Structures are given as structure tokens and as C-alpha cells.
Structure 1
Amino acid sequence: MKKLLFTITVFAMTITMNAQEKKGITLTVVIENVLNDEGHVLSALHNEATFMKAEGLETSHDKAEAGELILTFENIQPGEYAFSALHDANDNNSMDFEPNGMPKEDYAMSGNSMPMGPPTFSDAKFTVEKEDMQLTLRF
């Protein structure tokens, strides 16, 4: 019985140590130029599968405050990602559009590409490798 208990304990410790080895990087996102304190800033980290299709892999819902917003995401694994942010000033949890299709609310996207029409993952993507990183986006 003692041998079985010892084996189970060693196995559990091995699993715990292996899980700790998979720790990813810290991604800091600085969103500049939040114009006012109305509503919330909604943001999301996406991979290609979720970009413009589903909720992000990591999301944030923060009270808007004029100036700069700093977000931190921990344990991000290496790969290609895109980041989006929306200043949802009226708190309806969606982007509002003018009749001509232009957004009414401020938004930002990694890659700093502002195409006419919806952004693409290839325009917005960035690569996470082994070092912590910072993105700066501007509304």
C-alpha cells in the first residue's frame, strides 16, 4: 500500500511540474487615446480560428477611463494572434455603425491596418515567441 501511495504521489508531482513547464509569456496591451469615461472598453485576443467569428481566447471588459488603459494577459503560448479593442461607449456590448457602414465607436486592432471594410487576420496578426511582449494600440 505504501508503495502504491508513493507511486501516486510521484506521478502527481510529475504532472504538476510538467504543467508548470508550459508557462507562456506575459502580453501587455496599452490602449492609448481613450477619449472619455463613458461605457467600457471591450478587448480580445484571437487566433485565426476565432478572429471576427467568435469570442476571443482571452477577453477583457474594463470601465472606460479617459487616457490610457493597460491590460495584462498571462501565460500566452507561442503562436500567431490578433488583438482587437472597442470603446463601447453606450454599453450595448456591440459595435454600432452609421447608416453608411462606418463605425460610430472607437476601435483599434493589432497590426494598425485600417482597411476599408472588415479587417483580416493576416493584416492584424502578430507572433508570440518566447519573450514577454507589449502591444500599443490607439483609438
Structure 2
Amino acid sequence: MRIAALILGLVLTSFLSNAQEKEGVTLTVTIENVLSNEGKIIGALHTEGTFMKGAGIATEVVDAEKGEVTLTFTNVEPGTFAIMILHDGNGNNRMDFEANGMPKESYATTGELVFGPPSFNSAKFEVVDNDLDFRIRF
């Protein structure tokens, strides 16, 4: 009987510890059309307060690979967010612009495709309690 109680206790402890490990959701972002192997792909998770104003609340960086690359944001708590993606081809960790103000490097956001600079309202999504997958094109 003591052995059965011990085994039951270990099983319950295992379930409780696994339930406590996950503190937020996972956001998986696949960029479908990376055009070259040069530089890095930088993804930033933004709130309305950080969108288009600076660094996001979380950043993921992977080496650029022609074709598809995937970024993963883990332990994201519930809220309203947007993701911005940049193909930083020259590795200077920022977007470069032409003299006329047009971007030199590929970029994308979650949400609706808009003409002109992206807005938080067009890029936002809600995180509740389920993992989310996004497929984005530059």
C-alpha cells in the first residue's frame, strides 16, 4: 500500500510540475520568402506603446536563409501585440533607407498588408491561452 501511495504521489507531482512549466503561449512566425542568405532575420514582438517607436518587448534573431525561416517567441503572456520582421542584410541591426525615405531592406508585419508605413491597428493580434502560428511574406 505504501508503494502504491508513493507511486501515486510521484505521478501527481509530475503532472503538477509539467503544468507549471508553461507560463505563456508560444508564437511561431514563419517568413516564407527570404530572398538571400545574407545577414540576419530580426523579429520583434511589440505592444502598442513600442510599435514603430523602438525596440519591442522581445526580440528573436536567426541567420538569413534563402527560402523559409522560422522565429519563435516563448512564454508570451496574454495581451494585444504585433510582430515586425526585418531582413537585416548588412548586419547593422537597423533598417536602412534610400534617400527618398523608402526602405532598402525587406520588412513585414503580422496582420493586414497596408500601403505605406504599418500601423499597430493593422498589425495587431490577441494572445489569450493558445499557441499561435503566423506565416508572413516580405
TM bucket (normalised to shorter chain) is: 0.7 to 0.9
TM-score under structure 1 length normalisation = 0.80
Identity %: 54
Equivalent residue, structure 1, for 2:10: none
Equivalent residue, structure 2, for 1:126: 125
Q: Distance in 1 between matches of 2:21 and 2:37?
A: 40
The answer (yes or no) to whether the contact 2:82–2:124 under 8 Å persists in 1 is: yes
> How far is the alpha carbon of 1:99 from its aligned partner?
1.8
Equivalent residue, structure 2, for 1:75: 75
Equivalent residue, structure 2, for 1:10: none
Equivalent residue, structure 1, for 2:6: none
Equivalent residue, structure 1, for 2:40: 40
Q: Show the 5 A alignment for 1:21-40.
A: 23-40=23-40
Equivalent residue, structure 1, for 2:57: 57
CA deviations on 1:30-70 (whole Å, 9 max, x unpaired) are 11100010011111001111111121111012111101111
> How far is the alpha carbon of 1:21 from its aligned partner?
7.9
Aligned CA RMSD, in angstroms, stands at: 1.6
Q: Distance in 1 between matches of 2:31 and 2:47?
A: 20
Q: Distance in 2 between matches of 1:100 and 1:59?
A: 28
Deviating above 4 A after TM superposition, structure 1's stretches of 4 or more consecutive aligned residues are none
TM-score under structure 2 length normalisation = 0.80
> How far is the alpha carbon of 1:113 from its aligned partner?
2.1
**Aligned residue pairs: how many?**
120
Q: Distance in 1 between matches of 2:81 and 2:90?
A: 28
* Secondary structure of 1:122 counterpart: helix
* Secondary structure of 2:54 counterpart: coil
Structure 1 unaligned runs (5+)? Answer: 1-16
